[in-house]
Amino acid sequence: MNLYLQDIPASELAPKAIQETPAPGKDPLIAHGLQKEQYAGIIGLAIALIAAVGFFSRRVEYAIALAVIISAVVIALFFI
């Protein structure tokens, strides 16, 4: 097997050069503006799931709704 070896050009930066990191809070990989829409979508999916389960069984729907309400109350108590 004959492999062609190619020289990789050296970087324009010196090997000991220090690169500046971006300032905290300005990370381009984090979408800060989409958080409200994501929360609304998650809540919408949860309501749709409870409604779909309730279509088949009312007892399961009530159990899920009660668990969600109790969880929200407990979470709120931890944040107070």
Q: Tens digit of pLDDT for each residue in 3-30? A: 666 655 555 555 566 677 766 667 777 7
pLDDT at 15 (0 to 100):
59
**Positive/negative CA dihedral, 44, 63, 79, 26:** negative
pLDDT at 63 (0 to 100):
87
How high is the mean pLDDT of the chain?
Answer: 77
The pTM assigned to this predicted structure is 0.45
One-letter amino acid of 43: I
Terminal CA-CA length for the chain: 69
pLDDT confidence tier of residue 76, bands split at 50, 70 and 90: very high
What is the mean pLDDT of the segment spanning 34-38? 80
